[in-house]
Amino acid sequence: LGTFDGQGIRMADMVVSAHCNRVPVRNGHLEAVSLEFETTPTEAEILAAWRDYKPLAQQLNLPHAPQPAIIYMDAPDRPQPRLDRLAGSVPGMATVVGRLRPDPLFDFKFLALGHNTIRGAAGGSLLNAELLVAQGYLGVEAAALAKGLAVV
């Protein structure tokens, strides 16, 4: 994570501790994430950031862009790959998060779930192509894409 300053990427001033464990399910990756911030936000601020996050693909309402991009689950046993990997308006394309709680080592920790083949491979590639078309990089009209008629 960081910002581009015109000459390179200036890394964000935060520590991220993440790991991914393969569990015996057909699809889905569940990550355990711990975050430390320079200025510790409240749990409500983190939840608001997830709720309000609207990347460009969602702003453009692209066909494979789930609304919302991030789904937070309140239940203490969620997300779970078998139950939640297809959550959202475009099955398999949203990131599902849950179990947000204070972390004794860092500031907060939570679980994040993504579908490894839908979002991670095929669907992610489709969404990238839709975004390139919508931004005019592939020479296809955005209106044709929105109607599902785009041919590259």
Could you report the per-residue pLDDT of 51-75, keeping only the tens digit for each? 999 999 999 999 999 999 999 999 9
140's CB contacts (< 8 A; 6+ apart) are: 133, 150, 151, 152
Quote the pLDDT of residue 107.
94
Query: How buried is 145 (Cβ within 10 angstroms: 0-12 exposed, 13-18 middle, 19+ buried)?
Result: buried
**What pLDDT, in 10s, does the model give residues 30-46?**
999 999 999 999 999 99
Quote the pLDDT of residue 5.
87
Instruction: List the chain residues with pLDDT less than 70.
Output: 1, 17-23, 140-152
Each domain of the chain, given as residue ranges in start order, spans 2-115
Q: How many residues does the chain have?
A: 152
Quote the pLDDT of residue 152.
44
Quote the pLDDT of residue 142.
59
Quote the pLDDT of residue 101.
95
Can you name the CATH fold of 2-115? Dihydrodipicolinate Reductase; domain 2 (3.30.360)
Quote the pLDDT of residue 145.
60
